[in-house]
């Protein structure tokens, strides 16, 4: 039997991320305050990468992403080193986040308590449940960053 709370968390966190990205213009998406390098666009792409490389891969699914997205949006990325024309459009990231939501929801719904309690694929010591919750918590934190950047832009 699947974990209804985890399924609800997938829907709530991703739903809020998508809501925060509504109405963001291309200029706003690429803006970062002086002294910082992570834009709304980067945070959105990072949420996608988190779900693929932390949550879905822990459950045994190969990460799916357009070429270069891991390098551009992972925890090892350096946004300031990415050329301006290399960035995908925010609309492309939003479409990928929507598609991924359906895949992630289906995966989570298919996991039993035993599946969630087993060690994550290719990782030591932590369970599939841990990586799912960790990835969703991290996405929620990045949603807060998106919200704050939108507030600063609106005040500007």
pLDDT tier, 125 (very low <50, low <70, confident <90, very high otherwise): confident
- Rounded CA-CA distance 73/129 in Å is 23
Residue 122, pLDDT score: 81
First and final C-alpha spacing in the chain: 49
Average pLDDT of the residues in 1-18: 94
Span 70-87, pLDDT tens digits: 999 999 999 888 988 999
What is the mean predicted confidence (pLDDT) over 138-142? 98
Instruction: Please say if the pLDDT value at position 10 is more than 90.
Output: yes
Res 61: pLDDT: 95
Q: What is the pTM of this model?
A: 0.95
Question: Is the domain defined by 4-155 classed in CATH 3.40.50.2000?
Answer: no
Whether the per-residue pLDDT at 57 is higher than 90: the answer is yes
**Residue 126 to residue 44: CA distance in whole angstroms:** 26
Q: What is the pLDDT of residues 92-108, one digit of tens each?
A: 999 999 999 999 999 99
Distance CA 135, CA 129 (A): 10
Q: Which residues contact residue 134 at a Cβ distance below 8 angstroms, ignoring those fewer than 6 apart?
A: 54, 55
pLDDT in the model for residue 69: 97
pLDDT confidence of residue 5: 95
Q: How confident is the model at residue 3 (pLDDT cuts 50, 70, 90)?
A: confident
Q: What is the DSSP string of 79-109?
A: GGGS-GGGSPPHHHHHHHHHHHHHHHHHHHH
1 — pLDDT class (breaks 50, 70, 90): low
What is the pLDDT at residue 16? 98
């Amino acid at each position: 039997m699947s974990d209804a709370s985890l399924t609800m968390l997938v829907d709530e966190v991703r739903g809020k991320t998508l809501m925060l990205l509504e109405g963001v213009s291309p200029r706003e998406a690429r803006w970062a305050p002086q002294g910082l390098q992570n834009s709304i666009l980067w945070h959105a792409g990072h949420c996608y990468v988190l779900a693929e490389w932390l949550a879905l891969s822990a459950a045994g699914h190969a990460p799916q992403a357009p070429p270069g997205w891991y390098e551009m949006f992972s925890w090892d990325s350096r946004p300031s080193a990415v050329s301006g024309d290399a960035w995908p459009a925010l609309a492309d990231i939003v479409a990928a986040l929507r598609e991924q939501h359906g895949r992630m929801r289906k995966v989570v719904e298919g996991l039993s308590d035993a599946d969630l309690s087993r060690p994550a694929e290719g990782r030591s010591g932590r369970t599939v449940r841990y990586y799912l919750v960790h990835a969703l918590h991290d996405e929620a934190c990045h949603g807060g960053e998106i919200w704050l950047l939108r507030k600063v832009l609106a005040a500007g």
